[in-house]
A and B are shown apart, each in its own frame.
Chain A
Amino acid sequence: MTIEHDLSHYLLHLGDNALIQGQRLSQWIGHAPALEEELALANVGLDLIGQARHWLEYAAERLDDGRDADALAFLRNERELRNLLLVEQPNGDYAVTILKQFFYDAWHFQVLHGLSTSSDARIAGIAAKGLKEVTYHLRRSAEWVERLGDGTEESHARMLAALPKVWRFTVELVNASDAEQRLAAAGLIADPLEVAAAWRAKVADVFSRATLPLPEPASPFYLDGRQGLHSEHLGLLLADMQYLPRAYPDATW
């Protein structure tokens, strides 16, 4: 594998993460627990889909095979998407949604922080802009983990019930691929070991303040979002998301 191949796939990974997380957030709109949350969820979703667009545009340029960002988002199937398994999981109740968001944000923050000093100026630029947004996302989701963990008995119980549904997918946040090791060695992306360590520290800190027990590190299992080996949830999500471009292939929207 060439570094160029690694890089374009990594850009797809970043774009797909933000896109699928944004898609899940947009399913909440109209159904959130408070008006302020409607606003916040839409706001975070908007940021992430905006970031997805930037990463996919750059991926399209590097791939240079005639596809644009929209083709990459709407015309790849579930074996071609490279998002983390975590972000494709169903929203569940607000405890599940908040835990997914927090684990992703804590990881995303570290990833973008590292990418903002990438030797590729374009990557550094996109990451620096995204980092400002994700700083807010992380503050918000960490606060909600605390509120729900250290809120009422019911909210605490719901967080405990949500944790096993979400935790096992965090294995992907701390186990980087070989390609990512190569990209990091080339100075193009953040060092995955540093990202993982910082992620663990952040989760431990917030969980302690949220009076939540920190589980043992999750074990690897036999799926891999980076390689397009997804859970059964992604296919349905894409069927919904891609239906118009698939049904009207010649259309201009």
Chain B
Amino acid sequence: MYAQLVETGVKRLKTLDEMDAQERAFQEKIDAEIKIEAKNWMPDAYRQTLIRQISQHAHSEIVGMLPEGNWLTRAPTLKRKLQLLAKIQDEAGHGLYLYSAMETLGADRDTEIAKMHAGKAKYSSIFNYPTLSWADMGAVGWLVDGAAIVNQVVLQRTSYGPYARAMVRICKEESFHQRQGYEMLLTMMRHGTQAQKDMVQDAINRLWWPALMMFGPSDEHSPNSAQSMAWKIKRQGNDELRQRFVDQTIPQLELLGCTCPDPDLKWNAETGHYDFGAIQWDEFYEVLKGNGPCNAERVATRKQAIEDGAWVREAAVAHARKHHNKNAA
């Protein structure tokens, strides 16, 4: 998921009997699958949880421009350069949709961005890994967008209307870029040199586990999941989504002719799913805490962009004000 470990601030679920009339009416609406809209009453914790989740999701789109932007000037053909630019442009657009959805909850875009720059708001752990070869562009498209789509397809049914509608639009574009990423890897594996094939396998080796971590902690270590599920912000557990991702991705990996960097991965005929090895959760929590390979650079880059651009934004505001006054006069 682009948003991982979202705090709900709720220790224990209330039963319907424990709720007051307003809360009960809200929960009954949720249970009846009626979308919550901006002007509807909602519990403050629901509002705050959504602000955290949607802003984290938006921040992820924006920070996620950096690892791919890293290869924009080095894309090896005109076609690939165009595809990568289009993809990053879409990510900026997704960030804008998501900040708009978040603002319907009364939050402010600049304030939430400042929290991220101050290390007080998260973004997806995956973007703290470096992109070290061109094959990473394909692997990010295929694995990272692939994992995001598995999460986001479910979020199209999330209980908050503006978030659900943003997901519908975003999923269409993401799916296109994901296929493109896979096609890039397929081209290198089928028509490329041995050096290119090695590049692809190396990218998969480095990004496989970080992609699985995008689904968040396993359900028994996900204390906020129960409330998010009750509010139908989340619709499915982290482990279930992660399993779905593994099951759909392994055949694609085989079609590429690559291997999975997991010695414990095997098909389980009884369950009809792939069994896979243990995720290094220590690494996951360290990366989320800010101790991953690129956390410092990513945040510093975004902070710098906003600071360096302050005079530009101030000029735009000043010009608009002058112009407005002139028109009014």
Residues of A bordering B, CB below 8 Å: 19, 22-23, 26-27, 29-39, 42-43, 45-46, 49-50, 52-53, 56, 69-70, 73-74, 93-94, 146-148, 150-152, 154-155, 158, 240-241, 243-245, 248, 250-253
CA distance A62 to B312 in the complex (A): 44
Bound together, the chains give a CA A168 to CA B310 distance in angstroms of 28
CA distance A147 to B322 in the complex (A): 10
The docked-state distance in angstroms from the alpha carbon of A69 to that of B69 is: 23
Give complex CA distance A127, B205 in Å. 45
CB neighbours (8 Å) of B305 from chain A are 30-33
Taking A38-B65, A248-B196, A250-B193 as contacts, is the C-beta distance between A152 and B318 under 8 angstroms? yes
Given A33-B308, A49-B85, decide whether A151 and B316 contact each other with a Cβ distance below 8 A.
yes
Number of interface residues of B (CB under 8 A): 51
B297 vs chain A, min Cβ distance (A): 11
Q: Shortest CB–CB separation between residue A243 and chain B, in angstroms?
A: 6
A154 to B191, CA, bound (A): 54
Residues A155 and B96 in contact in the complex (CB < 8 Å), given A33-B309, A251-B192: no
Residues of the B chain whose Cβ atoms lie less than 8 Å from the Cβ of A50 = 82
Interface of B is mostly: helix
Of residues 46 through 103 on chain B, the ones whose CB sits less than 8 Å from some CB of chain A are 62, 65-66, 69, 72-82, 85-86, 88-89, 92-93, 95-96, 99
Inter-subunit contact B77/A74 (CB<8 Å)? yes
Q: What are 9 contact pairs spanning A and B, CB under 8 A? A: A22-B81, A26-B69, A27-B72, A30-B302, A34-B309, A38-B92, A148-B319, A241-B73, A241-B74
> Which B-chain residue is minimally distant from A154 (CB atoms)?
B311
Is B289's beta carbon under 8 Å from chain A? no
Q: How far is the CB of A130 from chain B (nearest CB, A)?
A: 14
- Is there an interface contact between A244 and B76, defined as CB atoms closer than 8 Å? yes
Contact B193 A253 (CB under 8 A): no
Instruction: Report which of A39, A45, A148, A253 forms a contact with B315, defined as CB distance below 8 A.
Output: A148
- Nearest Cβ on chain A to B198's Cβ, whole angstroms: 11
Contacts of B76 in A (CB 8 A): 74, 244-245, 248, 251, 253
**245-293 of chain B: CB within 8 A of chain A:** none
B134 at the interface (CB under 8 A from A): yes
Give bound CA distance, A23 to B188, whole Å: 24
Q: A53-B82, A244-B74 are known contacts. Are A94 and B312 too (CB-CB below 8 A)?
A: yes
B65: contacting residue among A29, A33, A151, A244, CB under 8 A: A29
Partner of A29, one of B72, B99, B304: B72
Q: In the assembly, what is the distance between CA of A52 and CA of B79, in Å?
A: 11
The answer to whether B322 and A35 have CB atoms under 8 Å apart is no
CA distance A245 to B66 in the complex (A): 23
Main secondary structure of the interface of A (DSSP, over half): helix
CA separation between A73 and B80, bound complex, in Å?
Answer: 13
User: At the interface, yes or no: B21 with Cβ under 8 Å from chain A?
Assistant: no
Shortest Cβ distance from residue B20 to the other chain A in the assembled complex, whole angstroms: 40
Q: Is B195 an interface residue (CB 8 A)?
A: yes
Closest Cβ neighbor of B83 among chain A residues: A46
Smallest beta-carbon distance B17→chain A, Å: 45
Q: Are A94 and B82 in contact (CB under 8 A)?
A: no
Q: Across the interface, do B319 and A146 meet the contact criterion of CB distance under 8 Å?
A: yes
CA distance A73 to B315 in the complex (A): 37
Task: Select from chain A the residue with minimum beta-carbon distance to B138.
Answer: A253
Bound: A247/B80 CA distance, A? 17
Residues A147 and B77 in contact, CB atoms below 8 Å apart: no
Within the complex, the shortest CB–CB distance from B129 to chain A, in Å, comes to 16
Bound state CA distance, A23 and B88, in angstroms? 14
Task: Report how far A239 CA is from B232 CA in the complex, Å.
Answer: 51
A252 contacts B195, CB within 8 Å?
no
Which chain A residue shows the least CB distance to B321? A151
- B313 at the A interface (CB under 8 A): yes
Cβ of A244 to closest chain B Cβ, rounded Å? 4
Closest residue of chain A to B78 (Cβ to Cβ) is A53
Contacts of A43 in B (CB 8 A): 89
Tell whether, in the assembled complex, residue A30 and residue B69 are in contact, meaning their CB atoms are under 8 Å apart: yes
Complex partner residue of B81 from A27, A49, A154, CB under 8 angstroms: A49
- B301, CB-defined interface residue at 8 Å: yes
Among A35, A52, A250, A253, the residue within 8 A (CB) of B134 is A253
Q: Is the CB of B314 closer than 8 A to any CB of chain A? A: yes
The minimal Cβ–Cβ distance linking B312 to chain A, given in whole angstroms, is 4
